[in-house]
Every structure is written in structure tokens, then in C-alpha cells.
Amino acid sequence: MPKRAILMCSCSFACPSMVNLNFPTFIERVRLEIPHDYMVVHPRLCETNGEALMEDLLKKDGITYITAACKIEKQAKLLRDGFQRAGVPMNEKTWKPVSIQFKTTEQAFEDVKKAVEEVGE
């Protein structure tokens, strides 16, 4: 089974699409209730310092990155540079995006839980 790393983007807690999501409750539930190898919460993974974090953090072998952030299509564009800087391809083996925009805390939690379970299969 690949290692599972959860990367969460909080969109600086300011994006209108995240208004129904209680981030402190969400991240604590994920941390405590969903099996994973590690989790990182960043205010803007798509910005320069988020890309630098991914360059240092992402590894090529044996890890699938579950990204909980904006719309999946948007993640593909916004997180591409961070994955490229790390030398990690964005494919079904290494990347499992989860959209948490316009979700309640419970809906986002269940979507991340499902994604982590799918990676573990």
C-alpha cells in the first residue's frame, strides 16, 4: 500500500467557496479519524512559498498525495508547478485531488475519507 499524505489548502481562509467549511474542526477530524502517514495544511499551496514547500516535501516513490482544495480542474492548473518542481508527476498513482469548495465540514471530511480509502485499496 502506498503511503498516504494529505495536503490541504485553506485558500487563506478567505475564499467565498469555503464559507461553509470550519477548517479547525475539519483538519482536526481528518488528523484524528482518517488513517494517513502525514498531513500538511497550507494557506495557499498554489503560491510561490506553497510551491517551494511541495518541492521540498514531495517525494517520487511510494507516496500518493491527496490534495484537499478548490475545484479539481483548478487544482490541476494551480498545483502543477509545485509537483513539477518536486519532480513528481500528477497521475493516478501519485495524486488524488479532492474538491472541498462549496462543501460543509462534514461533506469535505467524507470526501477526503473516501479518497484516502480509495488510495489504500
**pTM for this prediction:** 0.93
pLDDT score for 121: 67
pLDDT score for 33: 97
pLDDT single digits (tens) 102-118: 999 999 999 999 999 99
User: Which CATH number does the domain 3-120 belong to among 1.20.120, 3.40.50, 3.30.70, 1.10.12?
Assistant: 3.40.50
Q: What is the mean pLDDT of residues 61-88?
A: 94
Domain layout of the chain by residue ranges? 3-120
C-alpha pair distances (Å), 32 with each of 8, 13, 23, 63:
15, 21, 14, 20
pLDDT score for 100: 96
pLDDT single digits (tens) 32-58: 999 999 999 999 998 999 999 999 999
What does the mean pLDDT of the chain come to?
93
Query: Is residue 98 classed as helix, strand or coil in its secondary structure?
Result: strand
Give the cell for residue 32: 484524528
pLDDT single digits (tens) 77-106: 999 999 999 999 999 999 999 999 999 999
Whole-angstrom distance, CA of residue 38 vs CA of residue 7: 9
